[in-house]
Structure 1
Amino acid sequence: TDIRNGLAQIGVFTLFRENSQQKRNLVESILHACLQMSQKGIGALIVLEQEVGLKNFSDRGTQLNSPVSEQLLLSIFHPSSPLHDGAVIISNKGDLLAAQCILPVSMNSRLSSSLGTRHRAAIGLTEETDAAVLIVSEERKEISLSYRGQLIRGANEDIRKALLDVFAGNIPDAIREKETKDTYRKNKLKEAKKTTETSDDLKTPDNTPVDTNKG
């Protein structure tokens, strides 16, 4: 998309791809914070920058530029914190750039009506960039992951595996399956539209004589 191209930065590599242990430690720290928040019914939105720079979004939030820690995330999203609304953005170098960031809400009409603003914002950003976004639902008390405009829900271990796949530069299996289904659905719609258009073209012309005496 235009936004993806506009935000792309030259020479930026996927988060910690060259340092798997650092990557794993970051994932564990973030997910442990998410697990605690989900158990307490605290909502959260955590953006993980990949190759496409997110400066346009982080600059509009409250600048923090701090090392990521479990305690920092818990403090930010605590309901009494002035920073708990909006998303936090973690750079592809592992720094927490900003809090209170506003994300673009997806306008995809096929999304479930049960999805709230937090999930739609996560999907909206991942439709436009290659970021991965973790969502903690205060109502469902569950952790979800959005990537490539898709949403993964499931066991925490499934979310963890998918996130590690993303950081390793791979597309999680659950995302591939959803994309395959979407492609199949789109192709079916195209075929149906083409069939309808062909059928309309083959319809017999209306040869009913026109009464020229009328009018």
Structure 2
Amino acid sequence: MPRAGLILKLSCPDQPGIVAKVATYVAGHRGNLVEFAQFSDKLGSKFFARLEFETSELDVDTEDFIDGFGTLGRSLKADWHFRRLPFRMRTAVLVTKTDHCLQEVLWRAELNELPVEITSVIGNRDACRAVAERAGFNFSLIDMDGERREQGFRELRDQLVAQEVELIVLARFMQILPDWFCEEFSGKIINIHHSFLPAFIGANPYKQAHERG
């Protein structure tokens, strides 16, 4: 059975000592740190971190631990968010024709390798319906061709909101997302196939795209 824990996501201006201060706070309350991922954006002078830690041995109540972090967070001029573990993120998978990425997501979800609750599979083509329904998931077909493109994305948006989706997985979804859609679901979209970046071949295509602007 998964142990009780927390995930902390934090972003703040880059500055010396962030890792040490955060780790000291967790360890100071007997939290067991099991994962710590960090990234410094040199161009924007921003620091990002994701921590996962067990809370079964905390020396304070979990709510007090979360509230107490506010003092440190404010001193770092940070934005932060805690999520309790275990959890499953409500997830929609968007597809077009090719199904190998979809099958990988469904398989890993079935094996509990991904902390997701798949709410639906949505496609702008019908090719992946059989794969989704065979796995026991609803499949929705939305026409996005030609003049139907804008209306199609509005329908997609309505479905995602109605399903209270927390994560949108683009599994070979061969459509360019409108700006308004990206803004509304900012931080909730992940692409698991980077073939939409043909201008940036080889290693680190996202880094190349970011540097290009």
- Give the TM-score range, shorter chain: under 0.3
Give the number of the structure with larger relative contact order, counting CA–CA contacts within 8 Å between residues 6 or more apart: 1
> Greater helix percent: which structure?
1
TM-score, length-scaled by structure 1: 0.23
TM-score, length-scaled by structure 2: 0.24
